[in-house]
Amino acid sequence: MALVGTKKMFEMAYNNGYAVGAFNVNNMEITQGIVEAIVEEKAPLILQISRGAREYASMSYLKGIIDVAVAENPDIPIAMHLDHGDTFETCKQCVDDGFTSVMVDASSKPFEENIAITKKVVEYAHAHGVVVEAELGQLGGIEEDVVGVSHEDIAKHLTNPDEAVEFVEKTGCDSLAVACGTSHGAYKFKTEPTLALDVIQKIADKLPGYPLVMHGSSSVLKEFKDLINKYGGDMPDAMGVPESAISEAVKMAVCKVNIDTDLRMALTAKIRQVFAEKPREFDPRKYLGPGRQAIKDMVKHKLQILGCSGKAAECM
């Protein structure tokens, strides 16, 4: 089947109490690892492409890789999503390039300006059959060119539930990324995080049936942090979002959970391990292959946490 949008995915996720994994892709091996896990688990899939990914690999290469994944797996619904589009022009270009979903992120702007930019993107995207995710409130941390608020200020920038209602009504966006205490990157927190799950619940109560999104939701899994550090890395303070908190959020109205850092860590950990154990190795297939397998195993684990394994058929 062809690429799909996320509307049916989110409708089924909301009604049946699970979330769809949205995984960032930068190259062939990362995409293959994700897709192989999805196929084995029979889950719906959102493949996200950031500005950094487009600059690194070019849109034509990434689109070609995703087109192959779609053609080879007709029983799996796959959406191609723009992650953190910061301008109308960026979102428009991605709609024109064949994305089935785009995110406009004007969350750093004043409330009314965020509404105006988002509404403009929604009008263009909807006219071309593309769904739109927007963001209200600000996360912490750093991810590529997305710079959030400081760790100390995260609690001051949580999404206001009353503003969320006004924002959705005025923009017509199809889903909303909310700030609930999560953070971008591997160094998300200095101490064990406590998510503002009450914020998610309040928004869900005020917007019944409406899909919410969690960004900055990688867990910085200990097994990969330990491997990276064992084989020459230095990530002693890396800390992510507990998977137990993600599971709680999914029980509310969170229908999409973004995962990027965990992919990078899985790939990097295995490459470091191969180089350490086989210092004469120079064949990319011999270290990218294990990295791809690590991504696959990690994604399968995440799908279980999100509860979307076995849900592909109902999202077609």
What does pTM read for this prediction?
Answer: 0.91
In a domain, 149, yes or no: yes
Position 1 in a domain: no
Residue 50 in any domain: the answer is yes
Residue by residue, pLDDT tens for the chain (316 residues) are: 689 999 999 999 999 999 999 999 999 999 999 999 999 999 999 999 998 999 999 999 999 999 999 999 999 999 999 999 999 999 999 999 999 999 999 998 999 999 999 999 999 999 999 999 999 987 644 344 544 433 444 555 688 999 999 999 999 999 999 988 765 454 445 566 677 888 999 999 999 999 999 987 778 888 999 999 999 999 887 777 888 889 999 999 999 999 999 999 999 999 999 999 999 999 999 999 999 999 999 999 999 999 999 999 999 9
Q: Catalytic site residue 237?
A: no
Angle formed by the axes of helices 284-306 and 261-277, to 10°?
A: 140
Containing domain of residue 54, as a range? 7-315
What is the CATH classification number for the domain harbouring 24? Answer: 3.20.20.70
Task: Tell me if 124 sits within 8 A of 94, measured CB to CB.
Answer: no
d(CA 187, CA 154): 14
CB atoms within 10 A of CB 114: 22
Provide the number of structural domains found in the chain: 1
Tell me, yes or no, whether 2 lies in a domain. no
The CA distance from 23 to 2, in Å, is 19
Q: Are 295 and 266 in contact (CB under 8 A)?
A: yes
102, 95 contact by CB (below 8 A): yes
In a domain, 223, yes or no: yes
The enclosing H or E element of 223 equals: helix 222-230
Residue tagged active-site, from 83, 86, 105, 262:
83
**β-strands 140-143, 146-147: how paired?**
antiparallel
Q: Which residues pair with 133 in a beta bridge?
A: 103, 175
From the list 300, 228, 217, 306, the residue with the least C-alpha distance to 262 is 217
